Amino acid sequence: MAITVSREDFVMHRIHSLTGVMPVGYYMAQHLTLNTFSIGGPDKFNGVIEFFEGMPKHFLLAMEVLMIWLPLLFHAVYGLFIISRAENNYFTTKYKWSQNRMFFFQRLSGLLVFAFLIVHVCSTTVYKYATGNSEAIKFNAWHDKMHNPVWLLFYVVGIAAASYHLGYGLWNFCIRWGITVTDAAQIRIQKISAVVFVGLTLMGWAALAGFLINKPMDATPKTVPTAMNATLQR
């Protein structure tokens, strides 16, 4: 049975799909890219953190609120509303179209990502601002976390779900905004979505691997012998 969509719903749906790509989707791709600096070791990864932490605090906070948190909050809340109205028929009919499968997994991944982000953001960004301690998001903290099998599995699944949601969100975005009108165009973007999904997933998992293969930074500061120390050591 067809669902009548009001003009307000149509506009809200378009805004929802837009925020999923820009700025939320862009931020996710950029975030995973920078996280791969973990492969280079603690100095490389912490260098990225210190770059952002070196910004004026009010500027960094305003940028995060306006460009990340508010768009993400809207996308998440309205996404839950969309999921509540969804009528999944992939498992209840004999028509196993790929679009039906994508419809189901897009909403399932949305629920997984919603729960994943609550835990992830609260244990990193929120904790950092609440305690004023940026060490919680630096290499050593991530190294310890990824050596906990529960946390590792949590991030492996969370990254895959987020990558799927963004990858196939691009397919939905192109259709909703009239970019892909023909069947051939929709098939092409569906293939691109698969590449985006796999690429982002592997990038995120590579970042996790960086915390596993590299040793944590030595917390003991290294002292350089002074002339007096050198004299005493003789």
Supply the mean pLDDT for the chain. 88
The CA distance from 99 to 193, in Å, is 12
What's 91's DSSP letter? T
Q: Which range (119-128, 207-216, 218-227) has the least confidence?
A: 218-227
**Are 115 and 121 in contact, with CB atoms under 8 Å apart?**
no
State percent of the chain over pLDDT 70: 85
Model confidence pLDDT, tens digit, residues 91-101: 666 666 677 78
Q: How far is CA 88 from CA 14, 149, 173, 187, 218, in A?
A: 21, 33, 19, 21, 52
- Concatenated DSSP letters of 99-161: HHHHHHHHHHHHHHHHHHHHHHHIIIIIHHHHHT-GGGGSHHHHHHHHTSHHHHHHHHHHHHH
- pLDDT category of residue 4 using cuts at 50, 70 and 90: very low
List, in order, residues 6 or more apart from 143 with CB less than 8 Å away.
42, 211, 212, 214, 215, 216
Domains of the chain: 7-86+99-216 (1.20.1300.10)
Run of H or E including 187: helix 183-213
List, in order, residues 6 or more apart from 211 with CB less than 8 Å away.
38, 139, 142, 143, 145, 146, 147
Residue 73 has pLDDT above 70, yes or no: yes
**Paired tokens of 226:** 């002074």
Predicted TM-score of the model (pTM): 0.86
Model confidence pLDDT, tens digit, residues 40-51: 999 999 999 999
- pLDDT category of residue 108 using cuts at 50, 70 and 90: very high
pLDDT of residue 94: 65
**Are 179 and 188 in contact, with CB atoms under 8 Å apart?**
no
pLDDT of residue 96: 63
